[in-house]
Amino acid sequence: MNDNSILEGLFRQHCGKMIHLARTLLHDDAEAQDVVQDVFARLLENDYQMTGSKTEAYLMSAVRNGCLNRIRNMQLRERFKNLHPLGEADETHSIEELLAELDRINAIVEAHIEEPQRTIFRLRFDEELTFQQIATRLDMSVGTVYKYLRQCISRIKSFI
C-alpha cells in the first residue's frame, strides 16, 4: 500500500471484526491480536492494493487462514510433544530445539512451497493420510502424489 492512511483506515474499520473472528477460532486474545497484526503486516510488506466491496471478505479470509495455520502448528507441536515425552528427550537435541526445527520447516513450507505440493505435504504429515487417501481426496494418481511429495521434501531440504 503506497498510502499508509489507507491501511490505517482499513485497520480502524475492520480490526474489531477481525480480532473477534480470531478470538472465536483461537480462544486466546494474544494469539488473536498476533494473527490480525500479521495480516496487516503482510499487506504493508507486499504493497497490496485494497479497494472495493470485497475488502472485508479478503481480510476476514486472511484472518481465518492465519488462525487455521496457528491451530495446525499448535496441533503439530502437541503431537510432537506426545511422541517425545520430556523424560525421554534425546540427549543431543532438546525438545525446544526439535520444536524450533519443526517451526522452521513449517515456515519454509508456507513461504517456499507452492500448491499442490504444500497441500500434499500437509495432508501427509499433518493429517497423516496415506498416499492413496491423498490421491483420492485430490483426484490425482498415487504416482503424482508421490512425485509432488518428493519434490516438496527435496525443496525443504535445500533450505535446511
Taking only the tens place, the pLDDT of each residue in 81-109 is 666 555 554 455 678 888 888 889 989 99
Model confidence at 120: pLDDT above 90: yes
Report helix, strand or coil for 84.
coil
Model confidence at 39: pLDDT above 90: no
Measuring CA to CA, which residue among 78, 65, 17, 21 is closest to residue 39? 65
Assess whether 76 and 124 both reside in one domain. no
Assess whether 128 and 79 both reside in one domain. no
Q: Per-residue pLDDT averaged across 122-127, rounded?
A: 88
Assess whether 47 and 125 both reside in one domain. no
The CATH number of whichever domain residue 120 belongs to comes to 1.10.10.10
Taking the C-alpha atoms of residue 71 and residue 131, their distance in angstroms, rounded to an integer, is: 24
Assess whether 76 and 111 both reside in one domain. no
The fraction of the chain above a pLDDT of 70, given in percent, is 84
Which of 77-86, 134-143, 145-154 shows the lowest mean pLDDT across its residues?
77-86
Q: Give me the pLDDT at residue 89, please.
A: 47
Assess whether 160 and 126 both reside in one domain. yes
Q: What pTM was estimated for this model as a whole?
A: 0.50
Taking the C-alpha atoms of residue 113 and residue 153, their distance in angstroms, rounded to an integer, is: 9
* DSSP at 53: T
Assess whether 74 and 8 both reside in one domain. yes
Taking the C-alpha atoms of residue 69 and residue 75, their distance in angstroms, rounded to an integer, is: 10
Q: Give me the pLDDT at residue 64, please.
A: 92
Count the Cβ atoms, other than its own, within 10 Å of residue 126: 15
Q: Give me the pLDDT at residue 82, please.
A: 66
